[in-house]
Structure 1
C-alpha cells in the first residue's frame, strides 16, 4: 500500500470536522507523522522552570492531520495499527499549576520542570540515578482520534468517544486502536508524543517528547459495536521483551465526566465485544468480565472526561476467534 507523510506544520488545535484534510488516502495506507511535543515547541531542551510562566496554553496539545480515509462512513470503525514510534532525543515533565490529579493540594502549587535526555539505545532514562530509579521507555502517542460528528471546534485537551487525548500507555508499537467513525473520511489526527507514562498520568504530564510515528489506517465495516476507543495490545514490548506480564489484551473504554459512568460504559462495551466476537450471551459476558477482566484508570486529568478501560486477557480464549 502507499506510504504518505504528514509534516510538523500540518497541525491544528481543535477537533473540528470543518478542517480540510491535509491528505486523502486509500483504506490500508500507511501514514507517517512528524510531531512536535505537546508544548507545540514552547519548551526546548534548554528550558527551565521559569519557561512555564510564559506558556501560551491555547497552543498546547496540537495534533497533526487531519487525514481523510477513503471509504470511511459514519457507523464504520477506523483501525489504526501502530507500526513505529520514535521519540526525540529529549523530553520533559512538568508540574503546571491548576493541572493534575492533586492540583488542589498546597504542596503541588509551585511550577516545576524536569528535562530528560533520553537513552533510546538503552531503552530507559534515569529518574534519579543516585537513588537508583530509572524509567523504561515505552513511547506512544497520547492523542489519536477522528473528528466528531457534532459541528464546531472541540478542545484537544480532553478525550472523547471518538478518541483524542486518551493518554493510554498501552498504545505502543504493535498495538491496534479502533475508533468509531462519525464523519465521512474519518478525519484522523495524532500527536502528543510520550516517551513513558504511568496509567492515569496523574500530574498532568508524561515524559513529553517530539515524535515520529507511522500508522496504517484501515476502514472496518465489521465492528459496529465500536462506540468508544477500543484497542488490542501485544504481549511483547517495543524492545522485544515481555510486556503486560506476557499477556495480550483487548480493551474497551468508557469516556465520561463521571468516573463511575465511564467504568460502567467500559464494562458494557466489553460485553458487546464478547457477545459479537465470542458468541456469549450478555449474562455470560458480564460474569466473564467479573472473573477475568481488569478495570484500569487510563486517563484521569484531562477534564472534563475520564478514560476507564476494561482489559480482557486473550489467553483465556483457547479457541481463538478475534484477530487483529
Structure 2
C-alpha cells in the first residue's frame, strides 16, 4: 500500500488522509489546517506489518486490541514524538523505540516527522509462549545496545520499503521476533524478572535460543539441552509445562514453521520437500506430512503449489464430483512420496496481493468503456482485496455513508458539484431527460477497471471469489453493524401489478445484515418508507427513483418500523455485477448484462464461486460492483438487499491457444461453484451486436423470458457436449431430466435464465 495526499485537491486531503490511515488501522486524532501525509505499508507472510508515515504535525492513535491482538514498536526516524497511554506519558526522539500492546495509545508529533511503526501478532509462535506482553507502553533509549541493534534493522527496512524484495523481507521477519523477545526480556522492570520467576524466565530464554540453533539436528533431545544448561531433564520439562506445552511439542512446532518458510520461498524452489524436511531435523516424510497438515490445514505439496500461502486454493479439476475429489485426496495422503519425487512439481508462481479501495479515482459509475484508465494492474494468479459500494447507500446515508471516508468521498454531492460527476452512459449535459450527468442510463458503482497483464481478445479470465464480507457502518451510532437497502422501484416486474392504492408507488426497505461470527447469518428488516419527491443538491426534483445516488432527506419520508416481523432472510453475499470491458466504441450502460458479463444478478456468485468471462479488449479491464447481501431468483421488485461489500478475489488468465477446448469455446459468462456449473442465458446473448446502433435503447423494449430460455438451453447443450463429450441426444435428455433451469432476473432489460448443472450427476 502506498498513499500520498498530494494526489488529491487541497480541500479533500484531510478526509483522504484519514481514510488512508483507517485502512492501515490507525486513527487520525488531530491535524492542522494544512495536511500533508505519505503512507507506505507492507505485510509479511507471518502478518508482521511495517508502516512508514511521513507527515506534518498531527496526532495518531493505535489500538492493539482491535482485530487480531498485536504488539507494536514505533521508532521516530526524524522528529520527536510523545506517546500517551492512559496515565503513562513518554517522550521519544530519533532512534528511541517506544513499544506497547493492546491498550490504546496516542502518538503526538508536534512538527514534521518521519515515523516507522511495526505490528507483530501476539499469536506469533516466537512471542506467545516466550515473552510476557507489556501491560503499558515503554521506551528503549537510543543509547542502549539493544535499541541500537534493533533500530538499525528497522531503519534499513524503512529506507528500502519500496524496493525490498520478498526474500530480503523474509530474513527480517525471521530475525525481528527474536530481537523483540530478547529486548523485552532485557528491558523488563526488575520486579517482573526478580526472584525465582525471573530466574526461570531468563533460563528458559537461553533454552529457546539453544533449541533454535540446533533445530537441524535430528537427534536433538531434552537430555542434550538440559545437560548444556546444567539442569535436569525433569526440571526442564516442568519449565515448558508452565507455558502449556512439552519440550517435544515446542521443537516440532519450530521445525514446522522453519519448513513452512522454506516451502514458500523462491530461494528454495529447486529443493525437494524431502530435502527441506531433512534440513530441519525431520527424518520421516510421512510423519512430517501429517504434522504439517494438522498444523496448517494443507499438505506440504498443496502449500508449495498454492498461489495464496495464507488461504490455499484448490485448482479446478473439471468433471470430477466433489465427493470423488475428497476420496481421491484422502487416498493420496496415505501414500508415502519417494524422496526426490517432488522435483516433478513446477516451482511456485510468484504472485502478489493488491488492495483496491473504493474512491472517486478507483470507481466508474453506471457505465463500461474500453477506454477507461485502469485503476489497478495485475498478473494472472494475483490476489486482490477489493472494496465495492452499493449505489443505494444514500437510501439511508446515516447508516451506510456517514463516517465512512471512502463512501463519503464517492457520494460527495453539493450545490457546487459532485465528486463523481458522470453517473451513467447518457449525455454528460443531461440533455436527454434532464436528470443529471450520465442520465442514469446505468446505475452501478463499479470498482476498477483492473488490467490483467497479457490478456487478449479470445482469452478467458477466471475470477475466484475467496471471501465476501459486508462493509460495516462507520457511524458511531451503528458501529460494527452492516446495512443494506431494497428498493421496490418503477423498473421492477411487480410495478404494474399492484393490488392496493396507490397503484404506482416505490417502497424502500432498509435491512440490517448480521455479521457476528459463530451465528447464523441473516438479515432483518429495520423499517421501510415510500419514495417521495426528492430534491438533489443540484436542485433537480426526482419524482421517481430515477437517478443513482440521490440523497434521501429523512425529513421528507415516513418510516414504518412495523415491517416484516418474525422474518429472517438468509444472507447470501454475492456480486450482481462482474464484467470485462465490451468491445464497443461507445460508453455501455451498466444495467443490461451480455456476453461480457455485467449485471448478471445471480446469487450463486458468492464466496467459493468463480466466474469465467471471455476477454473482448486487451487487458480485459475487469470491473466489479452491485454488491448484494441477499437476493432471490428473479430479483422481482428490481433490486436485492443492496449492501456495500469487500471481497478477496484471485484473477486467473486462460490463454486461448493453450487452454482446454472447454475454455477456448467459452464465449459467454459462466459461474462455477464447488458443486455446480451455472450457465447464464439472456434474452439477447450479445445485444450490442444483435441489435445494432440502437442496441442500448432497444434492449429494454418488449423484454421476454422466451429468448432467454432458448439462449440458456443452447449454451447448456454446447457445454455438455464439449465438457462431457455427450452426443446432442444425450445432452438434451440430461437437460430435461437432471438440470434445473431458473429465472436469474427480470429487472435488467436483458432478462436472464440460468441452468444449474450439478457435478454429482457425473460418476467419473
- TM-score by length of structure 1 reads 0.86
Contact 1:228 1:255 in 2 (8 A): no
Matched residues in 1 for 2:724 and 2:705: separation?
Answer: 28
Deviation at 1:60, TM superposition (A): 2.9
Deviation at 1:105, TM superposition (A): 2.8
The answer for unaligned runs of 5 or more in structure 1 is 48-54, 235-247, 320-324
Q: Does 1:93 align with 2:486?
A: yes
Q: Deviations over 1:52-108 (max 9, x none)?
A: xxx977283121100011121111111010011011311111222x22001223445
Provide the residue aligned with 1:168 in structure 2.
602
Q: Does 1:203 align with 2:637?
A: yes
Judging changes above 3 Å, is the alpha-carbon distance between structure 1 residues 131 and 36 closer, same or farther for their aligned structure 2 residues? closer
Provide the residue aligned with 1:51 in structure 2.
none
Could you tell me which of 665, 687, 701 is aligned with 1:225? Answer: 665
Could you tell me which of 494, 505, 513 is aligned with 1:118? Answer: 513
Could you tell me which of 645, 657, 680 is aligned with 1:253? Answer: 680
Deviation at 1:213, TM superposition (A): 1.1
Alignment of 1:44-83 (within 5 A): 44-46=396-398, 58=440, 60-83=443-466
Matched residues in 1 for 2:388 and 2:589: separation?
Answer: 18
Matched residues in 1 for 2:506 and 2:565: separation?
Answer: 23
Matched residues in 1 for 2:665 and 2:740: separation?
Answer: 20
Deviation at 1:181, TM superposition (A): 1.1
SS at match of 2:568: strand
SS at match of 2:664: coil
Deviation at 1:129, TM superposition (A): 8.3
Provide the residue aligned with 1:215 in structure 2.
649
Could you tell me which of 279, 285, 295 is aligned with 2:741? Answer: 295
Q: Which aligned runs of 4 or more in structure 1 are off by greater than 4 angstroms?
A: 127-131
Alignment of 1:107-186 (within 5 A): 107=500, 109-121=504-516, 122=519, 123-127=521-525, 131-186=565-620
Alignment of 1:182-193 (within 5 A): 182-193=616-627
Matched residues in 1 for 2:599 and 2:353: separation?
Answer: 25
Contact 2:395 2:508 in 1 (8 A): no
Matched residues in 2 for 1:130 and 1:178: separation?
Answer: 37
Contact 1:225 1:269 in 2 (8 A): no
Deviation at 1:46, TM superposition (A): 3.6
Matched residues in 2 for 1:71 and 1:278: separation?
Answer: 30
Larger relative contact order (C-alpha < 8 A, sep ≥ 6)?
1
Contact 1:143 1:190 in 2 (8 A): yes
The answer for unaligned runs of 5 or more in structure 2 is 1-350, 400-434, 472-481, 526-561, 685-703
Q: Of the two, which has the highest radius of gyration?
A: 2
Report which of the two has the higher share of helix: 2
Provide the residue aligned with 2:246 in structure 1.
none
Contact 1:118 1:124 in 2 (8 A): yes
SS at match of 2:395: coil
Matched residues in 1 for 2:382 and 2:564: separation?
Answer: 46
Matched residues in 1 for 2:618 and 2:732: separation?
Answer: 34
SS at match of 1:268: helix
Could you tell me which of 353, 375, 386 is aligned with 1:3? Answer: 353
RMSD over aligned Cα atoms? 2.0
Deviation at 1:259, TM superposition (A): 2.1
SS at match of 1:85: strand
Contact 1:37 1:193 in 2 (8 A): yes
Report which of the two has the higher share of strand: 1
